Chains A and B, each alone.
Chain A
C-alpha cells in the first residue's frame, strides 16, 4: 500500500474537523480513499479503522450500508442515471437502457448505473458522470454527446 504524504496529510487534516470523536471522520475518510484509489479494499478498511481507533467492522459496516461506497473497482467513468419518478416521467429509463447498451463492450471505461433521486427534478432526465451533472438529457443523441466528452 503506497500512500502519498499529501494524501495522508489530507486524511489527518480531515480528522481535525471532528474534535469530539475521531470516529466521525469515517465517512469523509472513506470518500477520500475512494476518490484516490477507486474503491474500498480490505486494506483500506483496516487502515482507516486503525487510524480512527475503531474495529474494522465499524468501517466495513459503513461500506456495506452507504450506496456510494464500493468494494470493487468500476470503469474509469461512472455514469449515474436518475431512476426516480420525476426523471422517469421525463424518460430516464430509456436513456439508461440506451447507455447500458452503448457501453456494454466498454466496461473498463464506463460503468452505467441507476441511482435514486439526484435532486434535479425540474430538469430531468438527469445524468451524473463522475462529479459532473447533466440536465435535460432527453434524447439518445444528447446522451451520446455527454458520453463523447469522456471518450
Chain B
C-alpha cells in the first residue's frame, strides 16, 4: 500500500504511476468476470479499514447486480476524521491513482456506473489532487464511457464534506451526499446495501480498503489471505501520534508485531525517555489501555507490550484496532485532561439527532471541564459514568458508543486519578 509513499522521485501524477506499473491490475480486472473478482475479495478475507473491520467480501456479498433493478452506487469514504488517524491522507496526497484504480476495479466488480469519493472538507489539497487524478485517468480512458473498449462505463466524482465528523458514519455520509444534514439513518431498514444513496443499493468503503482490492486482483485472494493471520489478513496502515520519539505512519503485516514493538522499536520509545502511561490503540473512540494493565486473550493473559497488532486481539481485550490511529500518552500526562480534550471533540461533533448523545456529550464535557478546572465535585466520577452508560446503545448510530467508550474506559482504567481530582 505504502510501497511508493515517501519514495524519492515518486510523484502523484499519472505518468509516474504508469511508469511503476499502474493500471495493470485494472486491465487484468476488466478481462475477468465481475463475480470472479468478488469471489477473490471474499477469499482474501479483507476486512474494512475504516474502523469497524467488517468483511469487505461480505459487504459486497449483500449486493447482487443480477437481482436488483435499481442502479448500484459505490462511495469511497475519505472523510478521515477520527482523532489519531492520518493514513488515508498519505494515500490521497501521494498515491491518488492507487485509490482510483482500486475504486474502478471495485465498481466494475459490483456493476457500479456512478461513484463518489466523499472527502472531508479540511482536505482541500487532497480534493484537488483527486480531481486531477480523475481527469488524468479519464483522458486515458481508464474512466468514463466504454473503458478501454470493454463497453463498461463509470464516472467518479469528488464530493467535499464541510467539517462534520459524523459524515464518516456511512448513512450520515449518504444523507450528506443527498444534500441534507448528515443525520445517520436507522438500521434496519436503511442498510446502505439495500436502501443507500437515493434509496438504492450502495457500497461504502474506506480509502485503504479500496486500495487493497487492487492488490487482491494482482496476487489473487488466496495469496493475499496468506499475508497476516487468519481472519486478520493483509497489511495495516498504522499512524502513531502523541508521546513517542518518532511519530508517523507505518505499514505492517497484520499481527506481525506487538504494540510494544511498535512503540519501542519502530517509534523509538517514549519521548524524553519518560514512562509509558496509556495507549489509545485505534482512534480516539477505542477504549484506552493502561500501560501496566493485564489483558486476557483467548488462551493467555498478557501485558500491554505483548498485544499483537491485529483486529481480533484488540477485540478480545475489549477495545478495537479501529482506524489504526495509535495515541500514546506518557507519565507526565493528566489523563483527566486528556479525556476532557476528547469529550470536547465529541460534544462538538454530535449531530444532535438523538437525545442521549446530544445532551450526554454536553454533560460529559461540562463535568470534565469542571474537573480539570479545579471545581470537581465528589460525585463527579460516578455521574460521569452514569451519563456515559446511558448513551451507549441508545442512539441511532455508533457515535453514541464512540463518545461513551473513552469516558467509560478512562474511568475504569484510571479511577484513582479521577477520584483524586474529585476529592
Contact = CB atoms under 8 A, between A and B. Distances in A.
Contacts of A123: 247-248
B270 to A, nearest CB: 12
Contact of A120 (B89, B121, B163, B344): B89
A116 B86 contact: no
Contact of A121 (B84, B88, B162, B180): B84
A95 to B, nearest CB: 15
Given A28-B160, A89-B333, A115-B122, A62 B181 contact: yes
B179 A84 contact: no
Given A116-B345, A128-B122, 7 more contacts: A23-B178, A24-B179, A65-B181, A84-B345, A116-B165, A119-B85, A121-B325
B176 interface: yes
Contacts of B312: none
Interface string B161-191: 1111100000000001111111000000000
Contacts of A17: 157, 159
A18 B284 CA distance: 34
Contacts of A58: 179-180
Interface in A35-78: 52, 54, 58, 61-62, 65-69
B344 A21 contact: no
A137 B176 CA distance: 33
Given A117-B83, A118-B122, A89 B242 contact: yes
B240 A122 contact: yes
Nearest to A89: B242
A88 interface: yes
Interface of A: 17-21, 23-28, 30-31, 52, 54, 58, 61-62, 65-69, 80, 83-86, 88-89, 115-124, 128, 131, 133
B125 interface: yes
A94 B249 CA distance: 25
Interface of B: 80-86, 88-89, 114, 120-125, 157, 159-165, 176-182, 198, 239-243, 247-249, 280, 284, 325, 327, 329, 333, 338, 341-342, 344-345, 348-349, 351
Task: From A23, A86, A128, name the one whose CB has the most chain B CB atoms within 10 angstroms.
Answer: A86
Contacts of B241: 86, 89, 121-122, 124
Contacts of A68: 121-122, 162-163
Contacts, number: 140
A114 to B, nearest CB: 9
28 contacts: A17-B157, A17-B159, A18-B157, A20-B114, A24-B177, A28-B160, A31-B160, A58-B179, A61-B181, A68-B163, A85-B284, A86-B84, A88-B341, A89-B241, A115-B122, A116-B81, A116-B163, A116-B345, A117-B345, A118-B122, A119-B89, A121-B83, A121-B84, A121-B325, A122-B239, A122-B248, A131-B124, A131-B125
A27 to B, nearest CB: 6
Task: From A54, A62, A122, A123, name the one whose CB has the most chain B CB atoms within 10 angstroms.
Answer: A122
Nearest to A23: B179
Contact of A85 (B83, B120, B161): B83
Nearest to A61: B181
A52 B280 CA distance: 44
Given A30-B162, A119-B81, A85 B327 contact: yes
